[in-house]
Structure 1
Amino acid sequence: MIEVQQVTKQFGAFTALEDVSFRVEAGEVYGLLGENGAGKTTMMRMMATILRPTAGNIEVAGFSVIKEPNEVRRRIGILFGGDVGLYSRLTARENIAYFGSMYGMDRTAIEHRIKRLSQMLEMDSFLDRRVGPFSRGMKQKVAIARTLVHDPQVILLDEPTTGLDVTAANMFRQMIGTLQAEGKTILFSSHNMGEIDKLCKRIALIHQGRLQYAGTLQKLREQYGMQDLDDLFMTVVEGSGR
C-alpha cells in the first residue's frame, strides 16, 4: 500500500534522507521510528506530496507521488505534529466540515462523518465551540477528526499524540485499532517507544537520515536478545557508527 523505493532527499548540500526503502502492507499499522531530526517528518511530507524526492520514488495505493500526486492526495489523510493549523474563529464542527468540503464531500456525508468521529474521539461536549480557547489536547482531537473526515484509505500520523493526556492517548490507541479493523493502512511516526510497541508489529528505524532496520519488532528483539524497545533503539543507533 505504501512502497518507499531508494528515496533520497537533499536540501542544498544537506542530505535529510539517504537511500531509504521499506514497504507498508494494506491494512497494517506500521511504525516509523527515530529520534527528533532523524528524517521522519521529511519522509511523511514526501508521502503526502508536499515535498518531492531528490532521488527514488514513493508509491501510495499504487500511485507515484512524483507522477500521480493528485491521485495520492485523494487517498491519504495526514496529521503532522506541532502546529495543528486550525481556524481559531471557527467551531470544531466548522473546521472539520471545511476540510471535508475541500475533498468534495456533500453536506450530508460531512455531517455523518462528523457525528461518527465526534463519538470516536469523545468531542460532543465541545464540537460546537470555537477552537481558539481550546486546550492543546482538544485541538489535537479536532485535527485528527479533520484528517479522517474524508475516510481516507491511507492515514499518515506524525507524532499524533502530542498534547494528549494519558486518557486521551489511550482513546487514540483504541481508535487506531478501530481504523485498522476497517481496513485502513496507517503509518505512525513517533519517538515514543512505548506507543510504537503498543500499536505496531513492524517498523522502520531511521537514524540521521539512514534506514537502520525494517521488519518486525519480534525479529529485532530476537536479533539483539533484548525486550526493552528503548534499549533496542540505542543499541541499533550506536551500532550504526554514526
Structure 2
Amino acid sequence: MVEMEMVSVIRNKKYLLKDINWSIKKREHWCLFGLNGSGKTTLLNVINGYVYPTKGKVTVLGNEFGKTSIPDLRKEIGIVSSSIKHEFHINHSVLSIVLSGKFASIGLYEAVEQKDVDFARSLMEMLNCLHLEDEEYGVLSQGEKQRVLIARALMSQPKILVLDEPCNGLDIIAREELLLFIEKVANQENGPTLIYVSHHVEEVLPCFTHSLLLEKGEVYTQGLTKEVFNEVTLSNFIGREVSVQLENERTWIALK
C-alpha cells in the first residue's frame, strides 16, 4: 500500500524528515504516533503527494512517485483532517457534503445518480449520521462533523484512508463514539487501509495492528502496536517516566 525507502525532506538546510523507511501492507492498519512538531503532517503530505521528498523513493498503491500522475493517485486516498473540516460552507447540507467526496471537491457541482445517493446514505447509516442528511453543516456538533467527513472520505471508495487527529476538540463521549465508528470502518471487508495519526496513546484502537513512532522527523521505532506501546519504549520516547495500563486492549499512560 505504501513503501518508503530512505525518504528525506529538507527545507532551508533543515531536515523535516530524515531517512524514513516505512512499509504498509494491505489489511494492515497503522497508527502514526508522535508529539507536536515530530513531522507527522509532513509525512502525511508525502504520502498524498503534496510534498515531494528531497531524497529517497516513495511508492503508493504500486505507483512510484516521479513515474505516475499524483492527481489521479489522490483519488485513491481519502483524508479526514482538521483543516478540511473548516472548508465547507455552513449552509451546505450533510448529504451534499458526503456526495462531494465522490469528486473530491469542496461543494457539490456535478450531477449525481441515484446509486450515488444510495451509497452515500449507506455510509451515513454505518456512521450513525443518516438522520442528519438534510441538516446544515454549520449546526452539527464537532463529533457529528467528523462522522460526516469520514463518510465523505469513504464516498470515493479509497484504498487508503488517512485520519489526521480526528478526535481533536471532542469531549470524552464524542471521542469514544467516534472511535467506535472508526473501528467499524477498520473491520469492513474490502475496506480501506487506515493510517491513524495522533499524539494520544489511548486513542489507538485494537484494530491498529501496527504503529510508527516519529521523533524530530525520524523513525524512533515501528512494528506491532502491542510490542511498541510498552512502558520502557514510551518512557524513552516521551522523555519522561510513564506508567502503562492496558484496558479493553487499549493502552493508557500516566506520568510517574
Partner SS state of residue 10, structure 1: strand
CA–CA separation in structure 1 for the residues paired with 2:82 and 2:147: 12
Runs ≥4 residues deviating over 4 A: 102-106
Aligned-CA RMSD value: 2.4
Give the percent of matched residue pairs that are identical in Structure 1 and Structure 2.
Answer: 24
The aligned residue for residue 193 of structure 1 is: 201
Partner SS state of residue 132, structure 1: helix
Higher normalized helix content (fraction of residues): 1
Matched-pair contact (CA < 8 Å) for 2:143–2:178: no
1:3 Cα deviation from its structure 2 partner: 1.1
Which 5+ residue runs of structure 2 have no aligned equivalent? 241-256
1:164-203 to 2 correspondences below 5 Å: 164-181=170-187, 182-183=189-190, 184-196=192-204, 198-203=206-211
CA–CA separation in structure 1 for the residues paired with 2:74 and 2:84: 20
Give 1:99's aligned amino acid: G
Matched-pair contact (CA < 8 Å) for 2:160–2:194: yes
- After the TM superposition, which of the residue ranges 131-140 and 84-93 deviates more from structure 2? 131-140
CA–CA separation in structure 2 for the residues paired with 1:105 and 1:26: 33
Paired residue for 2:153, among 144, 147, 167? Answer: 147
TM-score w.r.t. the length of structure 2 is 0.81
Which 5+ residue runs of structure 1 have no aligned equivalent? 222-226
CA–CA separation in structure 1 for the residues paired with 2:115 and 2:10: 41
Partner SS state of residue 89, structure 1: coil
Using a 3 Å threshold, how does the CA distance of structure 1 residues 116 and 40 change in structure 2: closer, same or farther? same
1:3-152 to 2 correspondences below 5 Å: 3-68=3-68, 69-84=70-85, 85-102=87-104, 106-152=112-158
1:209 Cα deviation from its structure 2 partner: 0.6
1:237 Cα deviation from its structure 2 partner: 4.7
Give 1:90's aligned amino acid: H
Per-residue displacement from partner, 1:177-234 (whole Å, max 9, x unpaired)?
333332321111111101125442211110011111011133336xxxxx44xx6323
